[in-house]
Amino acid sequence: MKIKANNKPEIELPDGATVREAAEKLHLTAPEQAVAVTVNGKLRDFNHTLTDGDEVIFLNFDDPQGREVFWHTSAHVLAQAVLRLWPNAQPTIGPPIEHGFYYDFANLTLSDQDFEKIEKEVEAILSENFKTQRMEFPNKEAAKEAFSKNPYKCELIDSFNEEPISAYTQGEFFDLCRGPHMASLNKIKAFKVMKTSGAYWKGDSNREMLTRIYAISFPDKKRLKDYLLLMEEAKKRDHKVIGAALELFSFKEEAPGMPFIHPRGLIIWNRLLDFLRESLNQAGYVEIKTPMMMSKELWQCSGHWYHYKENMYTSQIEDREYAIKPMNCPGCMLYYQSATHSYRELPLRVAEIGHVHRYEASGALNGLFRVRSFHQDDAHLFMRPDQIRDEINHILQLADKIYMTFGLPYKLELSTRPEKSKTIGTDEEWENATNGLKGSLDDWGHTYRVNEGDGAFYGPKIDIHIRDAIGRFWQCGTVQLDMSLPQKFELEFVDSDGSHKRPVMLHRALFGSIERFFGILVEHFSGKFPFWLSPYQVRIATVADRHADYAYEVAKKIRSHGIVCDVDDSSESMGKKVRNAQMMKVNYLLTVGDKEVENKTIALRTRDNIVHGEVDISNFLDKVVKERNERALMSPFSTAQ
């Protein structure tokens, strides 16, 4: 038989050959290679039997799906090691996460001192190089019998909607799992236990507290070393620490997961919004504002009431149920319905910087990165089908402009239709929508990755992952084609022939959550914001008390240009004043003494601690105003930030 593998010319295999044999024929034997596989777009195990004409894609560790399978398999290795060391522990769940994986255990108590012991046992298991094997149970009863000694697994089995139910073995270890897994464990070359914490079963604070072990693994030791160095650098850039030190934001027990933005933080916030609104205006958007609380009937129409209610804050007023919006989309649908639209108006680009609330478990909250109250820079674009390609190009141009302003390179991913039975819309609609997105990406000329079957049930999407200063990727932007909401809300436009037709709709976000984007910028710049964004643009430090009047005179002149400027006329030494300014990441420190007062000048020191000496005030202002207006990333006085 012949198959297609990794988009290369057909290769010939004997009838009944498995995926593993195809990988061996292609010599994909390196630890980072062939860690997972898709056959005809579906993830499969390596003992899956191939048939003539199959399309096989082998995924490496650098592929998101490949890395997920690698880490899921590694989670089973972690559980196997824990059970060898603590036989009475009860494993519950162990999923891959953004960085590595975790496994939750009942009846287990451990500390950081146990990490080395776990790692040594993992090393022993890996040296045994077990092959992973999948088995299936025909029904829930058979599966529950196999896991009868573990009530957590039995509870999971009861919650499953599909049969058969699968499990995986590796040596003596046997675990309930959907899979797939790597073929064997010998691709795992580096393994590190990172931390432990408590976690409620199923995230429910009324249920049992479990012990969660976080770990990470790689196909080579260098990657682990690089990752640990990255984590050290990330720790220095922690936005929660920097945010507190620079007095940007805080969190209070009275409002968990709902940030308080302080005056200095609001300077950054407002500049972000000013930049966003300026960009939207130039790109032809209109902006709306919809109510924060709307009735149950709206959320029933949109489907959120049935599928998202557990994450919504609800209330009852005058015998009617309401919900605080977890997203902006339904409100925009009502706005569209408020008028009759002609084909001449399309595309209609409607933006909303909406304040939304979503219930997140307390254990999942993480500074500005995971909150319960946040703002989304949403937009909904209504168009004819023939306008899809141009509109996506328009969005990509806007995204490029915004991300490049912050020095954030990015990568693109296209996610296509999931299983047909799990989606809405016709084959023709999906083909047109996917071709529109793909065509736009091809036109754009930026390399992109295709995630087959990873789109939403209501349409394909493009995800934009930005890369920060230390190489971490963050998924912020998204372009989502939606064939569901226009149908549910019966949206229409009048076409050129007078007929009523349904518009195509795109969801679009670029910052995503503005709070989260704020946090990303804090870490990206390590608190050293470019001048236009900085909450500490200029500080004037006096040499002695007699220079205070002149310092305030200069500060007034600087502030008249819309620049943030404060005066340090404290009794501290000049050395201490300089250190304080550096700790607060002040862009420009201006010192004034007898000489500066006499000459009506300033002495300039930049944030990178380069002393420029005596400078004319007007010349300084001309340069920094230009720096601000151009939203420059680099100072005209310095080559380092």
Do residues 491 and 339 touch, judged by C-beta distance below 8 A? no
Residue type, 195: K
Of 404, 383, 408, 372, residue with least CA distance to 479? 383
Q: In what order do the strands lie in the sheet with 173-176?
A: 133-137, 165-170, 173-176
Nearest to 201 by CA among 245, 156, 260, 171: 156
Give the Cα separation of 146 and 150 in Å (integer). 9
**CA 221 vs CA 29, 117, 315, 453: distances in Å:** 17, 19, 53, 32
Handedness of CA 277, 283, 287, 293 (dihedral sign): negative
Q: Which residues are catalytic?
A: 329, 358, 376, 378, 380, 461, 507
Q: Which two tokens stand for residue 421?
A: 């039975």
Cα of 343 vs its chain's centroid, Å:
36
Closest alpha carbon to 174 in 69, 91, 100: 91
Of 486, 492, 497, the closest CA to residue 339 belongs to: 492
Q: Which residue has the tokens 């302003």?
A: 405
DSSP 8-state code for residue 184: B
The answer to whether the CB of 375 falls within 8 A of the CB of 259 is no
- Is the torsion defined by CA of 48, 50, 51, 55 positive or negative? positive
